[in-house]
Amino acid sequence: MDAIDLLRRQHHEMERALGQVLQAPQGDSRKAQFAHIADALTMHIESEEQIFYPAVKAQRTEDILLESLEEHLSLKRLLADLLELDPSEQTFEPKFKVLKEQAEHHHKEEEEHLFPKVMKLLSPEQRSRLGDEMVEFQSKLDRAGEPRELVVDQTAAAAPLV
Ligand SMILES: [Fe+2]
Ligand SMILES: [Fe+2]
């Protein structure tokens, strides 16, 4: 699967899911919806940081990748805070709205500034191999269970660009 198609599709799905969390009835249903989106966001971010970003690192992408890693850090901190809260608590909703806004902003930045550069850097075959590798990586995290818990230990600093 083409890496860019995969990431774009996941952005779209996550934004739809982010839009549904606060529509869900208070209680277990909202909690389950949040856990689902927190897992999806974490798997997406981890696969970008460990597979996609290193593969597309080049002179012309370095600035945007470094900025993206800082945006990931901010998303992880919000996720870690939210995982500590029960959705019925007063701070859950405002914090969740900030997460949603920041995630949307970050997706837009990647789609408008990073992906066009990647399209020039990588051949369709390279993008396809990269996408397959990310799908495999994400399923491994999923099978290990509760991928969202990974963000809790990643809030001190942005991941390095390796
Ligand atoms: Fe990202
Ligand atoms: Fe992304």
Question: Which two tokens mark 148?
Answer: 């969202």
Please give the distance, rounded to the nearest whole angstrom, from the Cα atom of residue 7 to the centre of ligand 2: 6
Model confidence over 128-156: pLDDT tens digits? Answer: 999 999 999 999 999 999 999 999 999 99
Model confidence over 37-75: pLDDT tens digits? Answer: 999 999 999 999 999 999 999 999 999 999 999 999 999
Q: Give the Cα separation of 52 and 104 in Å (integer).
A: 19
| Ligand located closest to 76 CA | 1
Question: Which two tokens mark 99?
Answer: 């997460």
Q: Give the Cα separation of 141 and 46 in Å (integer).
A: 9
Q: Give the Cα separation of 129 and 152 in Å (integer).
A: 30
| Ligand located closest to 12 CA | 2
Residue with tokens 């990643």: 154
Q: Domains of the chain, with CATH numbers?
A: 3-150 (1.20.120.520)
Kindly report whether the global pTM for this prediction surpasses the value 0.95: yes
